[in-house]
Chains A and B, each alone.
Chain A
Amino acid sequence: NAGVTQTPKFQVLKTGQSMTLQCAQDMNHNSMYWYRQDPGMGLRLIYYSASEGTTDKGEVPNGYNVSRLNKREFSLRLESAAPSQTSVYFCASSDLWGRVGEKLFFGSGTQLSVL
């Protein structure tokens, strides 16, 4: 059982380039999330999708777009990468969005460097 799969694992971009981070889950979860992890700042929510067909902004959405392609897949796009977007990105899924007791399942992360 793969759980949450993210690709790529590592990426180096130049300022201004674009790229899409892919995420897929095989647990039949309704909700999916994108977080970024920066030293000393914990995890910050970028965007989330409570269910197929919906997406909403989290704490730090500027510079990103998302697409919930189907129930399994949720992608994150950087249209014009900036050095401030150098971070580790995690995708997560759950089946209890916004409900008491929600537990998230995480992918292994994408380490992105923007030069």
Chain B
Amino acid sequence: GEDVEQSLFLSVREGDSSVINCTYTDSSSTYLYWYKQEPGAGLQLLTYIFSNMDMKQDQRLTVLLNKKDKHLSLRIADTQTGDSAIYFCAEWGGTASKLTFGTGTRLQVTL
């Protein structure tokens, strides 16, 4: 079945770039998403990329997709303390017609 994997934890210093990685198994994935969960809150959609794209940029966020390796990354430039959260990768798989979420990566931003 579909599987989405992420590392559990990432720590960066304020002002540095953060790169959060995700791998997925469903080769028929058509949309890939990044959701952000702040403490005590639900998930909010950050950005998404269609599978025929390699890159998408949205202000400080850059999403890179390597479809051959089934690898997705989220780069946050100039990371701020307000970026501290759990980031979930999710893929919409054509074979399952549903969203599958990864385990989430907790980003800690230190001063």
Interface residue ranges of B5-55 to A (CB < 8 Å)? 8, 30-31, 33, 40-45, 48, 50
The stretch from A12-20, A73-81, A104-112 touching chain B is A104-112
Q: Does A2 contact B (CB under 8 A)?
A: no
> B50 contacts which chain A residues (CB < 8 A)?
101
Cβ 8 A contact of A40, one of B40, B42, B43, B103: B103
Contact between A104 and B99, CB atoms less than 8 A apart: yes
Contact between A108 and B4, CB atoms less than 8 A apart: no
Task: Tell me whether chain A's interface is mostly helix, strand or loop, or mixed.
Answer: loop
State A4–B97 Cα separation when bound (angstroms): 23
* Interface size of B as a range: 20 to 34
How distant is B107 from chain A, measured CB to nearest CB, in Å? 16
Cβ 8 A contact of B92, one of A40, A43, A102, A109: A102
State A40–B86 Cα separation when bound (angstroms): 12
* Interface size of A as a range: 20 to 34
**Chain B, residue nearest A105 (CB):** B45
Q: Which A residues lie at the B interface, using CB under 8 A?
A: 4, 40-43, 45, 90, 92, 98-109
Q: Which B residues lie at the A interface, using CB under 8 A?
A: 4, 8, 30-31, 33, 40-45, 48, 50, 88, 92, 94, 97-99, 101-104
